[in-house]
Structure 1
């Protein structure tokens, strides 16, 4: 599997921007204190946790789409959406997060099933990552807890069947498979907010 220079740059910048957005959000940094925060050890710690949890969840979600697309003979490449990355950082400062860092675009003819496989790969990867992060709760509680929470939220959010989200593509391909993945994903994502 190949990566262009632009794709690697977009992945890196999206990873760093999301790390910063979530670090600002979780530390509840406000615009007036942002520059002090960026020069502190608290920033280094918060950024590390965000890159390892949110960043890894995002990167592997997008790479899962790419791997499956390439498996089906597609040319696939991640493209960052810099407007949404800026919005994510601004939102982190404002105390809310909306993260749509970009997407994997692919070209070529595909069946509905192949489109569905490509789409469902991302949320399934996030569910698997939640399982991987779960044991870390006992060793590194913050990383483990945040890794589980973020990946459950990513899976659940992406399975909503609207707009350009993965759920819409999966549902178009197969309603039973959509329900089998979406129902637990969305319920687990809701549980993050409730518990």
Structure 2
């Protein structure tokens, strides 16, 4: 059972200093991991600096809204819900990025309250569904054929959000898919299919 820390209200959203610290920690680590991945591990290059900036923006949007979606749906059901980082996985993600792969498991929204299979499934699918919506948003801008930095931000925004949606639907451990699968198989395969289709579209929209 979670022991709720002192609350901080940001508008209508209830959070805490612990949650804000863990979000910042996870955001920084995942941005670095994707920056390393996208730059091919060239740490002392302009490409790495640009990749970290792009990753920070796109991962920031995708990661924050993914976790916020979980949190808001859980709180709507009357649950205590706060994000906690998985520090070991943050380190592993950064190390694995040098080998061309990112383990996108920076943490999870911890929930305490009246949650059954149905509610847990709905809370869990909210995150990947948000990433899919963001990926479509970036895709729609790409169809306008933007140039320069905007084109790169939109492309990697689509890539990162589609990847986050697909990766988080793994049906085991603490991933979202492990809670969506027992609740609704149709929803599970729909999210997998849409996220997979977005990933397959990437070569055709690359600037």
Which stretches in structure 1 are left out of the alignment for 5+ residues? none
Q: Does the C-alpha gap of structure 1 residues 99 and 176 become closer, same or farther in structure 2, counting only changes over 3 Å?
A: closer
Structure in which a larger fraction of residues adopt helix: 1
Partner of 1:92: 97
CA distance in 1, matches of 2:46, 2:60: 20
8 Å Cα contact 1:7/1:79 also seen in 2: yes
Partner of 2:155: 145
C-alpha RMSD of the superposition:
1.9
Once the two structures are superposed, the pairs formed by residues 101-120 of structure 1 within 5 Å of their partners are 101-120=106-125
8 Å Cα contact 2:59/2:157 also seen in 1: yes
CA distance in 1, matches of 2:114, 2:158: 35
- Report the TM-score, using the length of structure 2 for normalisation: 0.82
Q: Does the C-alpha gap of structure 1 residues 136 and 44 become closer, same or farther in structure 2, counting only changes over 3 Å?
A: farther
Work out whether 1:25 is the aligned partner of 2:37.
yes
- Count residues in correspondence: 187
Which stretches in structure 2 are left out of the alignment for 5+ residues? 1-12
Secondary structure, aligned partner of 2:98:
helix
Once the two structures are superposed, the pairs formed by residues 1-195 of structure 1 within 5 Å of their partners are 1-29=13-41, 34=43, 37=44, 41-137=46-142, 138-139=145-146, 140-189=150-199, 191=200
Q: Deviations over 1:91-114 (max 9, x none)?
A: 223332222100000101122211
Moved runs in structure 1, 4+ residues, more than 3 A?
Answer: 40-44, 186-189, 192-195
Q: How far does residue 186 in structure 1 lie from its aligned partner after superposition?
A: 3.4
CA distance in 2, matches of 1:115, 1:10: 22
